[in-house]
Amino acid sequence: MARRVYIFDTTLRDGEQSPGVSLNVMEKLQIARQLARLGVDVIEAGFPITSPGDYEAVKTIAREVRGVTVAALARASFQDIDQAWEAVREAEQPRIHTFIATSPIHMRHKLRMTEEQVLEAAVAAVKRARSYVSDVEFSAEDASRSELDFLCRVLEAAIAAGATVVNIPDTVGYATPEEFARFISEIRQRVRGIEKVVLSVHCHDDLGLAVANSLAAVMAGASQVEGAINGIGERAGNAALEEVVMALYTRRDQFGCETGIRTEEIYRTSRLVSTLTGLPVQPNKAVVGKNAFAHESGIHQDGVLKERTTYEIMNPQMVGISQSNLVLGKHSGRHAFRQRLQELGYELGEEELNKAFQQFKILADKKKEITDADLEAIVEEELRPVPVTYTLEYLHISTGTTIVPTATVGLKKGDELFEEAACGNGPVDAICRAVDKVTGIPCVLKSWGINAVTSGKDAIGEVTLKITENGGKTYLGRGISTDILEASAKAYVNAVNRLLWETGRLKE
């Protein structure tokens, strides 16, 4: 029987620490529900002590998401642990994840604590957490740069204090696979009681080795891997869970392991995380990248046409990438639309379906053929959990190489239409200035990017941008259209709506 490897997802905690990412409570809940559908064993929902928003997100996920362990992170501090418990107490399977650094460099310069003080704090934290929950994870931060003798003492003490999971993080991505495998083997041999707990690893990607180190640790006996969807996270990010899972599956002859992941949900999860965080997936990204199953070379194309396995070691359908040639058009009805969405894995309520179908019909008047990628873009735009204050009613642009770009926008707020015009350095700048005139909120456009959802001259353009007000928090906006300027306007209005919602100014 294959050995089970548990998948611990930290997209909502470590992943959200990616620069420029800020998810609200409803967005985190939407991702958590998809992670549960994906089949992860543990969702690390956040770090409750850090902010009221993070506390509320963890509490909401713990209350709403079932069939999965929900973990909250806490430093080795009673205040942190108490707050973590309050956040996860309604979870079906609550876990408190407490940590303290054990490397000389962290103890000396960050904690300014002696080894004995760290050991004492670790034990006290685990005991405190265990007084609340039966499932306690202890992490030795910067374990890979810790002295092995001391690390083993701390792990042994944490297990004796009641830890059910002990985690070995490569916090700064310093380890190499062979070295990390030896490290894990040594820990398994030297720590008394290690066979009674789950041995976990959490690898960062500073040297591009997070997935390799995680897999090496599994070969050495680790039974839980921690990481994030699309590999997002601090600095260069975490181990990409989709890569870990598919490596374990594709090379089960080598690893002899299985996970509880429903692989057909991988691509949809990747898309959702990318959409809500605003972090695009690079085209050559393993497993979920746009080019992961694309073949440009004539030799490769010929081989794949004759026998798929000549150049594909994974089946794209296995990770949820549709290969359907079914194309919808303007004469397609609501039933066919709903059925195709269900085949793609989307279960929409009546209101959501109505909105998506309306957008489908609008797009169908502009495009002759609508593909699955187009449908995914439509649905994901409609499912964004941001209340709408302003909607784009119309957009007029005057631009060229010899005139000053000018934009006129019409925005609806309820039943009232507001119109303004503005000039700018370019058409996008003019659009932003015109929207600012309507809303009365002078925002700064921090970033703007576009991705072609499909190929061809009539491809949908997917614009993702970020704005700030007075140099404060960043707000993400996203819009789609066959016209990139309209997509830009939609994205900017979406970001403003987010700003109004998150700052509590919806009724202004």
Helix or strand holding residue 259 (H, E): none
Nearest by Cα to 344 from 243, 272, 451, 452: 272
The helix/strand/coil state of 204 is: strand
State the Cα torsion 215-220-221-223 to the nearest 10°: -20
CA distance 165 to 397: 59
If residue 434 lies in a helix (H) or strand (E), which one and from where to where?
Answer: helix 427-439
Nearest Cα neighbor of 340 from 366, 369, 314, 308 is: 369
pLDDT of residue 339: 81
* Helical H segments across 111-173, by residue range: 115-130, 148-161
Triad 432, 475, 358: Cα angle to 5°: 70
Measured from the Cβ of residue 4, the count of other Cβ atoms closer than 10 Å reads 12
Alpha helices in 162-295 (DSSP H): 177-190, 210-219, 241-250, 252-255, 266-277
- Tell me what pLDDT residue 326 has: 54
User: What pLDDT, on the 0 to 100 scale, is given for residue 323?
Assistant: 60
Residue 214: which of 253, 245, 249, 258 has the closest Cα?
245
Output the pLDDT for position 295. 47
The label of the residue with tokens 């931060």 reads 141
% of the chain exceeding 90 in pLDDT: 72
pLDDT value of position 69:
98
Taking phi first (over 0 means left), then psi (-120 to 50 degrees means alpha), and beta for anything else, what does residue 36 get?
alpha
**pLDDT of 304:** 47
Q: Give the largest CA-CA distance in the chain.
A: 77
Residue 297 has what pLDDT?
A: 47
The two counts, helices (H) then strands (E), for the chain are 17, 16
Burial class (CB in 10 A: 0-12, 13-18, 19+), 99: buried
Residue 291: predicted pLDDT:
83
Average pLDDT over all residues of the chain: 91
Q: What is the pLDDT of residue 142?
A: 98
Q: For residue 48, give both structure tokens.
A: 């409750």
Q: Is 159 exposed, middle or buried (0-12, 13-18, 19+ CB in 10 A)?
A: buried
- Predicted confidence (pLDDT) per residue in 87-122, tens digit: 999 999 999 999 999 999 999 999 999 999 999 999
β-strand partners of 192: none
- Taking the alpha carbons at both ends of the chain, their separation in whole angstroms is 62
Helix 177-190 with 210-219: angle, nearest 10 deg: 40
Long-range (24+ apart) CB contacts under 8 A made by 345-350 are: 345/264, 345/265, 345/268, 345/320, 346/379, 348/379, 348/383
Please give the structure tokens belonging to residue 169: 């993080």
Q: Which amino acid is at 348?
A: L
Q: Kindly report the backbone phi and psi dihedral angles of residue 395, in degrees, each rounded to the nearest multiple of 5, phi listed first.
A: -145, 130
Q: Which residues of the chain have pLDDT under 50?
A: 295-297, 299-301, 304, 325, 508
| pLDDT at 342 (0 to 100) | 78
Token pair 């059925």 is found at 339
Q: How big, in percent rounded to 5, are the helix, strand and coil portions of the chain?
A: 45, 20, 35
